[in-house]
Amino acid sequence: MNPQTETKAISRQKSAELADEAEQLRIEINAAEAGALAPLSPVTQEPSQFQEIVDTVTGILGDLPLYVTSFVSEYQRPIVTVGLFLSALVTVRVILAMVDAVNDIPLLAPFFEFVGIGYSAWFVYRYLLRASNRRELVQDISTLKDQVVGHHSS
């Protein structure tokens, strides 16, 4: 047998088989009567992984104010402590930046050093050289401490 003849015979056989299958699958629809078509069934498809993630994130964001308020009420003291620590750190950084800026001005840094040395010398002469002046300094410090704490002894 010739290969071309064989190929044609096989393709005719396949065509006949496909025609038989199509005849079996044919559905007859009568469109003249109302309701002749079967209603479409609702699609029962599982939600995709993306939709599940979106639902989870939406639920968390919806409950976020509740989470935040419960966290703040539970950990109020540590939050205040951390806030005060961070604000003190920022304050120190700003003061150091200001001192550095002042030190960059010519002749101003040596002037401030001179003023500081002069005040230190006056303080030593006024309060630290004699015992009576040291007692007066201790009394002034305790008076100031009592005023700050709130114990008025006078």
Q: Is residue 24 over pLDDT 90?
A: no
Structural contact between residues 144 and 136, judged by C-beta atoms closer than 8 angstroms: no
- Render pLDDT for 111-149 as a digit per residue (tens, 0 to 9): 999 999 999 999 999 999 999 999 999 999 999 999 999
Contact indicator for 30, 36 with CB cutoff of 8 Å: yes
**Is 26 a residue whose pLDDT tops 70?**
no
From CA 56, how far away is CA 62, in angstroms rounded?
10
- pLDDT of 19 reads 75
Spatial separation of the C-alpha atoms in residues 81 and 77, rounded to whole Å: 6
* Helix runs in the chain, H state only: 3-25, 49-62, 64-74, 76-103, 108-123, 131-149
Q: What does the buried/exposed string (b/e) look like for 46-74 if buried means 16 or more CB atoms within 10 Å of the residue's CB?
A: eeeeeeeeeeeeeeeeeeeeeeeeeeeee
Q: Mean pLDDT across the chain, nearest whole number?
A: 83
Q: What is the pLDDT of residue 152?
A: 64
